């Protein structure tokens, strides 16, 4: 499987031409890949081979939360994260080098405020989300895509020059672990 780096980003559905919910065994059967044993190892592997690097992560965080996932990296541009228990693709992260757009409007390197007339910004943690404006029939609804910018703070007059560095598309929580 080769990602389409120009594919549209479709919230809660797909990016890079890859659909959320994809089965890991199907992915592996149609992909050229190499297993790595440590994230740092990915820095030493040649990314120019256009090959997926697969890392199995099974650990317990200091606060007791457990992580059991399979991360698949493509040329530092696309990261797929599968739930290791269900084998289901739950997250797609796209970054520098990705040319597809979210809603046909926003891409990597674009200014976040280029859509401020069409959407409100909602900020949680260190990520932005787009929220439908009051004049929309979906007013107040959040578009389920995390937007990472060069700032890790909310958009404001003081921090208006925010450029998009990455998007995270995710399977809605209600569809995970099934």
Which tens digit of pLDDT belongs to each residue from 80-128? 999 999 999 999 999 999 999 999 999 999 999 999 999 999 999 889 9
Sign of CA dihedral 106, 111, 116, 122: positive
Examine the domain organization and report whether 143 and 72 are in the same domain. Answer: no
- Residue 174: how many CB atoms within 10 A of its CB? 7
pLDDT in tens, 23-63: 999 999 999 998 888 766 666 655 556 889 999 998 888 88
Does one domain contain both 38 and 90? yes
Domain co-membership, 50 together with 121: no
pLDDT tens figures, 124-133? 988 999 999 8
**Cut 0.85: pTM above it:** yes
Question: Domain end: 43, 65, 99, which one?
Answer: 99
Specify if 8 maps to a domain: no
Give the domain-ending residue among 50, 75, 99. Answer: 99
What the block records as the tokens of 61 is: 């965080």
Query: So what's the pLDDT on residue 134?
Result: 87
Q: Which two tokens stand for residue 58?
A: 């099974």
**What confidence category does residue 135 fall into, taking pLDDT thresholds of 50, 70 and 90?**
confident
Indicate whether 130 and 77 sit together in one domain.
no
Is 94 in the same domain as 161?
A: no
DSSP states of the chain: ----TTPPBBTTTEETTEETT-BHHHHHHT--EEEESSHHHHHHS-GGG--EEEEEEEEE-TTS-EEEEEEEEETTTEEEEEETTT-BEEEEEE-TT----BTTTB-TTSBGGGGTTTEEEEEETTEEEEEE-TTSTTTTPBPSEEEEESSSS---STT---BEEEEEEE--GGGTT-
3 lies in some domain: no
pLDDT at 41: 60
Q: In the structure, what pLDDT confidence band is assigned to residue 162 with cuts at 50, 70 and 90?
A: very high
Give the C-alpha separation, 71 to 94, whole Å. 13
How many beta carbons lie within 10 A of that of residue 104, not counting itself? 9
> What is the pLDDT averaged over residues 8-32?
97
Give the Å distances, CA to CA, from 115 to 61, 143, 157: 37, 13, 15
Q: Are 19 and 76 within one domain?
A: yes
pLDDT at res. 124: 92
Say if residue 156's pLDDT is above 90: no
> Between 164 and 48, whose confidence is greater?
164
Both 87 and 132 in a single domain? Answer: no
Q: How far apart are the first and last CA of the chain?
A: 24
Parent domain of 147: 112-169
The alpha carbon of residue 129 and the mean position of all alpha carbons in its chain are separated, in whole angstroms, by 13
Residue 154 lies in a domain: yes
- Number of other CB atoms surrounding residue 29 within 10 Å: 9
Structurally, the chain folds into a number of domains equal to 2
Chosen domain end from 45, 65, 99:
99
């Amino acid at each position: 499987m080769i990602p389409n780096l120009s594919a549209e980003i479709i919230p809660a559905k797909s990016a890079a031409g890859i659909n959320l919910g994809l089965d890991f065994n199907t992915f592996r059967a149609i992909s050229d890949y190499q297993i790595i044993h440590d994230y740092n190892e990915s820095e030493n592997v040649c990314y120019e081979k256009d090959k997926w690097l697969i890392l199995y992560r099974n650990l317990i965080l200091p606060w007791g939360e457990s992580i059991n996932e399979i991360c698949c990296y493509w040329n530092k541009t696309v990261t797929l994260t599968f739930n290791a228990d269900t084998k289901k693709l739950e997250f797609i992260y796209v970054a520098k080098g990705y040319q597809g757009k979210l809603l046909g409007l926003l891409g990597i390197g674009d200014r976040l405020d280029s859509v401020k007339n069409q959407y409100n910004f909602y900020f949680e943690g260190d990520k932005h989300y787009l929220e439908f404006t009051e004049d929309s029939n979906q007013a107040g609804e959040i578009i389920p895509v995390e937007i990472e910018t060069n700032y890790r703070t909310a958009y404001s007059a003081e921090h208006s020059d925010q450029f998009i560095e990455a998007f995270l598309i995710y399977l809605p929580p209600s569809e995970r672990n099934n």
